[in-house]
Structure 1
Amino acid sequence: MLKTERKAEQKVIEFQEVLDQTDTVLIGAGAGLSTAAGFAYGGEPFRRYFADFDEKYGFHDMYSGGFYPFPTLEEHWAYWSRFVFLNRYCDPPKPVYKNLLELVKDKDYFVLTTNVDHCFQKAGFDKHRLFYTQGDYGLWQCSKPCHNKTYDNGDIIRQMVEAQGFQVTGQGMELPTGTVSKMAVPTELVPHCPKCGAPMAMNLRADHTFVQDEGWYIAAGRYDDFVRRHKNTPVLYLELGVGMNTPGIIKYNFWRQVYQNPKANYICINKGQSYAPREIANRSICLDMDAAQVLIG
């Protein structure tokens, strides 16, 4: 075994020891965790489900397509319904989230996440212990917005996908052999605000129009209460797959809380972006690894 491999293996053992010895865990999860679970915006999944959009418009991954100014709402929702169905209503290929739950289910845990794919709840995490700060692919809001309410989109998303020729299966969607996918949904499926009639939009934090509905504020309150109750108690701050896109929500926040609480420990698992400031280095374990390597092996 190479020296670097031995060092990584030892850190995984240290991670497990700290986790076993701690009754309270605050999980901070970013996009890297879902990537580790097998969700990918590019590559084979994109080519399989979005080849027609790639050929017509020239973008090569799902993320880029989400910003494309499609000429009609029918085409906009054709793209977004495929995107949402795959990334919100299908389970990730790898059991990263389920294995994480097995590690913390008997502990006093809470999850703070910037992910919008609902993977925590799909894996069985208690919804009352989750705070999705940036929205949810499963929710719509008024695009203006004229009011602070969100709406579940699951049923209509499935109808949109099927209207394009796809067959919805238990774990995904398939285009029957010989079928050419449609790149527009029927006009009657295009969602509009029930109050003002404006087009609906995804409930994602992209600009000042993001709706923080009642559920958002309730979850924020639960998170604040968890932090308050454990302000001076032993807490493991477990950061998973968090990059530098919005570091103030999780990464810098966790560093500050660990620094202020001498009984707290910090563990960061993220391939290529695993580090801790020197002020808390003696209470930190940084694993430069894909979360799947740690949670699946």
Structure 2
Amino acid sequence: MEEKFNKILTKIEEADGIVIGASNGLSISEGIHLFADNAAFQENFGDFRVKYGFRSIIQGCFYPFPYEEEKWAFFSRMYDYFLYKGEASSVMKNLYELVKDKNYFVVTSNIDDHFRQAGFPNDRLFEIEGSCRNLQCVNGCHNHIYPGDEILSKMAKHQENGKVPLDLFPSCPECGGPMQVHIEVDRNFLRGESWEASYQAYRDFIEKAHGKKIVLLELGVGARNQLIKAPFMNLANHEEHAAYITFNKGPELFIPDAIAEKSIGIDGNIAEVLQQLVQMK
């Protein structure tokens, strides 16, 4: 394993550009599992579990709440659960430490905003499915996406019987209509100005890396993922000087034969792997 770690560190050091791709497995390594009916879910969302029967955060995100008071109670509580500590986890700190001096870009389907919390700058980050801390107009009457920290934090703190008071509901500054958290849970998801700018920055980074030594560093992305893994594998296959490095567990650690010679796979706990790499750096 040490030989693999040294090879990874060499690839990162020699890279002209690093593209970090992250999904649910990275969040799990931090102790947040969107798909689990675990003790943390029951402690933080148990009342919703009892009342509506959904058994994970992700099911709650897609649940058709009958009342806005309960919808905002869930999403503001989710925001608080993801970000209440106010500082990055050791996992995210180690990831930042590993690449902070390099030319990098992050693409992630995680909605917890932990990359930005760890110090990754906004202009190097593309959150494909949005962020739990931003708001948008439900009707999409205009393209602006709004920071929702103050509103969501206040709603998280002022709940009674799983409901948020009506006077705390946000309304669209343009049309006066309802708002929602900017995460992709329905067809209303707004690919607004900031989303489009981040997507273009990601594409520009890939284009500028063409023909150079590029490292595709994949963290906790499922074997069948089409948003991140499929494009990463395709890029590794077509870029002569690419290196594909993936961290995951068991069957989710998938490397196709076509790029096997360019790839390094680490089967294990992502938190422990990142800690080891930073110690060896």
TM-score normalised to structure 1 length: 0.85
- State the match for 2:26 in structure 1: 33
- Alpha-carbon distance, 1:15 to partner: 2.1
Per-residue CA deviations over 1:181-233 (Å, capped at 9, x if unaligned) read: 53111111122223333321221123432111211122122112111111000
Q: Which range moves more in the overlay, 147-156 or 51-60?
A: 51-60
Secondary structure of 2:246's partner?
strand
Distance 1:70 1:140 in 2: 18
- Alpha-carbon distance, 1:93 to partner: 7.6
* AA partner of residue 125 (structure 1): F
- State the match for 2:253 in structure 1: 274
Contact 1:91 1:119 in 2 (8 A): no
1:50 aligns with 2:21: no
Of residues 210, 217, 220, the one that matches 2:196 is 217
- Alpha-carbon distance, 1:91 to partner: 5.1
Of residues 50, 53, 62, the one that matches 1:67 is 62
1:103 aligns with 2:82: no
- State the match for 1:249 in structure 2: 227
* AA partner of residue 26 (structure 1): V
- Alpha-carbon distance, 1:111 to partner: 0.8
Of residues 235, 238, 242, the one that matches 1:260 is 238
What stretches of structure 1 of length at least 5 have no aligned partner? 1-7, 165-180
Of residues 187, 193, 204, the one that matches 2:183 is 204
- Alpha-carbon distance, 1:258 to partner: 1.3
Contact 1:264 1:283 in 2 (8 A): yes
Distance 1:62 1:138 in 2: 15
1:293 aligns with 2:258: no
Secondary structure of 2:249's partner?
coil
- Alpha-carbon distance, 1:142 to partner: 1.4
1:117 aligns with 2:96: no
Distance 2:85 2:57 in 1: 15
- Alpha-carbon distance, 1:92 to partner: 7.4
- Alpha-carbon distance, 1:287 to partner: 1.3
- State the match for 1:232 in structure 2: 211
1:283 aligns with 2:271: no
Contact 1:129 1:222 in 2 (8 A): yes
Of residues 136, 142, 167, the one that matches 2:137 is 142
Secondary structure of 1:70's partner?
coil
- Alpha-carbon distance, 1:284 to partner: 0.4
Per-residue CA deviations over 1:224-252 (Å, capped at 9, x if unaligned) read: 2111111000111111111156x332111
* AA partner of residue 282 (structure 1): E
- How many residue pairs get aligned? The number is 273
Highest Rg: 1 or 2?
Answer: 1
Distance 2:69 2:121 in 1: 36
Contact 2:15 2:215 in 1 (8 A): yes
Contact 1:38 1:92 in 2 (8 A): no
Root-mean-square deviation (Å):
2.0
Per-residue CA deviations over 1:260-290 (Å, capped at 9, x if unaligned) read: 1111111111112112221111110111222
List aligned pairs for 1:155-234, cutoff 5 A: 155-164=150-159, 182-234=161-213
- 1:277–1:243 CA distance, 2 compared to 1 (3 A): same
Of residues 1, 8, 20, the one that matches 2:13 is 20
Contact 2:88 2:117 in 1 (8 A): no
What stretches of structure 2 of length at least 5 have no aligned partner? 277-281
Per-residue CA deviations over 1:64-119 (Å, capped at 9, x if unaligned) read: 22222222111111111101111245457841111011111111111111112111
Contact 1:30 1:113 in 2 (8 A): yes
Q: Which range moves more in the overlay, 136-145 or 64-73?
A: 64-73
Per-residue CA deviations over 1:100-156 (Å, capped at 9, x if unaligned) read: 111111111111111121111111112211111111111111112222221111111
* Identity over aligned pairs, percent: 38
- Alpha-carbon distance, 1:9 to partner: 4.6
Contact 2:18 2:102 in 1 (8 A): yes
